[in-house]
A and B are shown apart, each in its own frame.
Chain A
Amino acid sequence: QQQVKQSPQSLIVQKGGISIINCAYENTAFDYFPWYQQFPGKGPALLIAIRPDVSEKKEGRFTISFNKSAKQFSLHIMDSQPGDSATYFCAPSADKLIFGTGTRLQVFP
């Protein structure tokens, strides 16, 4: 019930391209759906989050799409930049965060 599956494990995108990372969960008690970004040697930092009462949220180049019936949500990074190269984690929550396995994104110029 706590399992969170994230894909892909790694992603290589050219500068200016779109990066898409997916997350599937099982626990219907989750009520908060964040994406965290982590750079090497640093702690995870909140990138963007969504509540289940909306299906999409956009903040600048970052968009979350949420499909409650499918129990999936995804992160879209538009116009990907080399500075976006990091590991991304979905971490759905009903208090404690349950982290996915992570996606290592590399954006090449």
Chain B
Amino acid sequence: EPEVTQTPSHQVTQMGQEVILRCVPISNHLYFYWYRQILGQKVEFLVSFYNNEISEKSEIFDDQFSVERPDGSNFTLKIRSTKLEDSAMYFCAGRGPTDTQYFGPGTRLTVL
């Protein structure tokens, strides 16, 4: 069964550094999402992406964040200058023509 994969599984970075979180969605999916989950809290929507452009973004997704699908298979989330409060689990999700979103295992980002 195809799965969404994410790398790295854990990223530790210093405050102010740039990080890139990578996702490989299921191959026939067309709609892509990033969510985050601060430890012990609910999952929050960050951004949706379709047809190589952002469809919708939340208030969390400010100018420090960007997304890209550079080569038709990878889907990346970049945080330009990380803050302590960016520490969270980041989940990539994708869907095809149905409503079901399939989530990756997540990347744990720790900002020191």
- Let me know if B104 is at the binding interface, CB within 8 A: yes
Chain B residues closer than 8 Å to A34, beta-carbon distance: 99-100
A101 to B100, CA, bound (A): 20
Segment at the interface with A among B12-20, B41-49, B63-71 = B41-49
Among the listed A36, A43, A102, which residue makes an inter-chain contact with B105, where contact means beta carbons less than 8 Å apart? A43
Assess the A98–B103 pair: CB atoms within 8 A.
no
Chain B residues closer than 8 Å to A102, beta-carbon distance: 42
Assess the A43–B106 pair: CB atoms within 8 A.
yes
Q: Closest residue of chain B to A100, judged by CB?
A: B42
Assess the A45–B103 pair: CB atoms within 8 A.
yes
A36 to B41, CA, bound (A): 15
Q: Closest residue of chain A to B3, judged by CB?
A: A43
Interface majority SS on B: helix, strand, loop or mixed?
strand
Whole-angstrom distance between the Cβ of A34 and the nearest chain B Cβ: 7
Q: Closest residue of chain B to A38, judged by CB?
A: B43
- Let me know if A95 is at the binding interface, CB within 8 A: yes
A93 to B42, CA, bound (A): 15
A54 to B56, CA, bound (A): 29
6 further A-B contacts with Cβ under 8 Å, apart from A95-B55, A97-B33, are A43-B93, A44-B43, A44-B91, A49-B99, A95-B31, A95-B56
B residues in contact (CB < 8 Å) with A: 4, 31, 33, 35, 41-45, 48, 55-56, 91, 93, 99-106
A-B CB contact pairs (8 Å), 28 listed: A32-B99, A36-B103, A41-B106, A42-B106, A43-B4, A43-B91, A43-B103, A43-B104, A43-B105, A44-B43, A45-B103, A46-B100, A46-B101, A49-B100, A93-B99, A95-B48, A95-B55, A96-B48, A96-B56, A97-B35, A97-B93, A97-B101, A98-B45, A99-B35, A100-B42, A101-B41, A101-B42, A102-B42
